[in-house]
C-alpha cells in the first residue's frame, strides 16, 4: 500500500488541493463506468454538479485574489538628529 500513498501524494502535489483530486478521482471512475456500460444518469448529474461547484470555488478564489490588495508597508520615520 506504500505505492498508493506515494501516488496520492503526487496527485495532491500536482492538483494542489484535495477537492480537485477528489473531482479527478470521480472523473476517472465515470470513464471506467462508461467503458463497462454501467454509467447512469444519476452519476452524470452528480458529477456535473460537483464539477460546477469546483469550478465556482476556483473562480471565487481568483476573484478574491484579484480584489485583495496586499497591505502597504508603513513608512519609516526619519531619524531626528541621529536619535531613534
Could you tell me the residue ranges of all domains in the chain? 12-67
Q: What is the pLDDT of residue 84?
A: 56
- Mean pLDDT confidence for 53-66: 83
Give the whole-angstrom CA distance, residue 49 versus residue 19. Answer: 13
DSSP class per residue in 30-62: HHHHHHHT---HHHHHHHHHHHHHHHHHHHHHH
The 10s digit of each residue's pLDDT in 1-59 is 898 888 878 877 877 777 777 778 888 888 888 889 888 888 888 888 888 888 888 78
Q: Kindly report whether the global pTM for this prediction surpasses the value 0.75.
A: no
Amino acid at each position: 500500500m506504500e505505492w498508493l500513498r506515494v501516488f496520492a501524494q503526487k496527485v495532491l502535489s500536482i492538483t494542489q488541493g484535495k477537492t480537485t483530486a477528489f473531482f479527478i478521482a470521480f472523473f476517472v471512475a465515470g470513464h471506467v463506468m462508461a467503458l463497462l456500460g454501467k454509467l447512469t444518469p444519476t452519476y452524470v448529474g452528480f458529477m456535473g454538479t460537483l464539477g460546477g461547484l469546483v469550478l465556482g470555488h476556483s473562480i471565487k478564489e481568483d476573484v478574491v485574489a484579484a480584489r485583495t490588495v496586499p497591505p502597504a508597508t508603513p513608512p519609516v520615520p526619519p531619524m531626528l538628529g541621529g536619535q531613534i
